[in-house]
Amino acid sequence: MKFPVKVKLVDVGPRDGLQNEKAPVPAAVKIGLVHRLQDAGLLHIEVTSFVSPKWVPQMADNAEVMAGIQRKAGVRYSVLTPNLKGFEAAVLSRPDEIVVFGAASEAFSQKNINCSIAESIERFAPVVEAARAAGIHVRGAMSCTVGCPYEGDIAPERVAYLAGLMKGIGVQHVGVADTIGVGTPRRVQAAIEATLKHYALDDVSGHFHDTYGQALANTLAAMELGVWQFDTSSAGLGGCPYAKGATGNVATEDVVYMLHGMGVETGIDLDKLVDAGAYISDFLQRKPNSRAATAILNKRVQ
C-alpha cells in the first residue's frame, strides 16, 4: 500500500464548525480561532460563508470576521458563496478561494440551498465565472456523496454526475463530502473513484463528518487512493443545520496525530493545534471532540 508522503489539511472549523452552534460566537472569538490555526501551521482555513443570515444566523458576521483577520503570508482563506449575491459580498473581503456547494442528493439540495441540483449549477455558473475572472480559486463542495439524511444511500453514479456538472462550469477542485458521516471505507472510496472520472487526483479532497466514528478510517481509505487533501475541524467542530443529527468533521488533531505517526508531513505543530482546539472548546464550554486532543491535554496536567 502506498500512501501520500505529504498531506494538506484545510481547517474548516471556523465555518463548518461554528455555523452549527446555537449560542452566538462573537466575531472576535472566530478571529482568535483563525489566528491560532494559522499559528499552528495550517496553510488553508475555511473562515466563513456568505449565505443568507436568515438561513444561517451564525455566519452573519462574515465580513467582520474576514476584516479582522491578520493575514499570514502563504495561508489561503476560503469562504462559501451559494450565489452571486453571496459572491458580490464575499469579494469585498478578498478571499483567496470561494466555495460553491452542491449535493449529490436532490432532497438535500432543496433543504440546504432551496433549489434542485440543476438549478444550483445554473446559479453557480456565473459565480465561478466571476471568481475566475477575478483570479480567485474555485472549489466545489459535493454534499451527501455517500448518504443523505432524506434519501438514504447515494449511488456513486450520482456523485459522478454532480462532479461532471461542476467540471462543466469550471469548478477547479471538488471536495467529496460525507455530510452525515455514514460512510465506511469502501463506500467512500467508491464516491472518490466516481469523482476521479472528472477530476484529477490533485483536484480532489475528502470532507468526512464523524457521526459514526468512521471519519479517520475513511481518511486513510481515501489516502489509499492517493488523495492528499482533506477538510478537518479543530476540536472536531462541525455539522450542517440542514443535516440533522450529523456531528462534527473529523478532528484536525486526530488526523494530524495519525499522519505524523505514519511519517506523513503536514507542516502542523500538533501542540499548538491542540491549543487552538482548547481555545474554542473553552469558549463553547465543552471538551474538544478529539481523542488525540483529550489525551494530550490530560498528559499536560499529569
Active site residues: 240
- Which residue's C-alpha cell is 487533501? 229
- Residue 178 binding Mg ion, by CB under 5 A: no
Tell me which residue has its CB nearest to ligand HMG: 86
DSSP 8-class letter at 77 = E
The stretch near ligand HMG (CB under 6 A) out of 29-37, 51-59, 211-219, 261-269 is 51-59
Cα 206 from Cα 4, distance rounded (Å): 14
Instruction: For residue 217, count CB atoms less than 10 angstroms from its CB and return exposed for 0-12, middle for 13-18, buried for 19 or more.
Output: middle
Residues numbered 255 to 294 that lie near ligand HMG (CB under 6 A) are none
Residue 195 interface partner, choices Mg ion, ligand HMG, none, CB cut-off 5-8 Å depending on type: none
- Told to check if 210 binds Mg ion by CB under 5 A, we report no
Q: What minimum distance in Å lies between the beta carbon of 83 and ligand HMG?
A: 5
Contacts of 157 (CB under 8 A, 6+ apart): 194
Distance CA 267, CA 220 (A): 18
Smallest gap from Cβ 265 to Mg ion, in A, equals 25
Give the strand pairing for 147-148 and 152-153.
antiparallel
User: Is residue 146 part of the contact set for ligand HMG (CB under 6 A)?
Assistant: no
The Cα 118–Cα 26 span in angstroms is 36
Least Å distance between CB 198 and Mg ion?
21
Residue 58, C-alpha cell as written in the block = 451564525
Q: Please report whether residue 207 would count as binding ligand HMG according to CB under 6 A.
A: yes
Do residues 143 and 105 lie in contact, with contact meaning Cβ atoms separated by under 8 Å? yes
Is residue 86 part of the contact set for ligand HMG (CB under 6 A)?
A: yes
Q: How far is the CB of 297 from ligand HMG (least distance, A)?
A: 26
Q: Which residues contact 84 (CB under 8 A, 6 or more apart)?
A: 123, 126, 127, 130
Alpha-carbon gap, residue 180 to 76, rounded angstroms: 26
Stretch that binds ligand HMG, among 111-119, 250-258, 270-278, 287-295 (CB under 6 A): 111-119
The DSSP bridge partners found for residue 204 are 174
Nearer to ligand HMG, 175 or 288 (CB): 175
Binding mask 166-185 for ligand HMG (x = CB under 6 A): -----------x-x------
76 binds, among ligand HMG, Mg ion, none (CB under 5 to 8 A by kind): none
- Helices in the chain by DSSP H: which ranges? 27-39, 62-68, 84-91, 106-113, 117-133, 156-168, 185-195, 215-224, 252-261, 270-284, 291-301
The rounded distance, in Å, linking the Cα atoms of 131 and 154 is: 30
Residues 86-125 that bind Mg ion (CB under 5 A): none
101 binds, among Mg ion, ligand HMG, none (CB under 5 to 8 A by kind): ligand HMG
For residue 207, the minimal CB distance to Mg ion (Å) is: 6
| 16 binding Mg ion? (CB under 5 A) | yes
Find the shortest distance in angstroms from Cβ 295 to ligand HMG: 26
**Where on the chain is the footprint of ligand HMG (CB under 6 A)?**
16, 19, 49-52, 55-56, 80, 82-83, 85-86, 101, 112-114, 141, 143, 177, 179, 207, 209, 240, 242
**Where on the chain is the footprint of Mg ion (CB under 5 A)?**
16
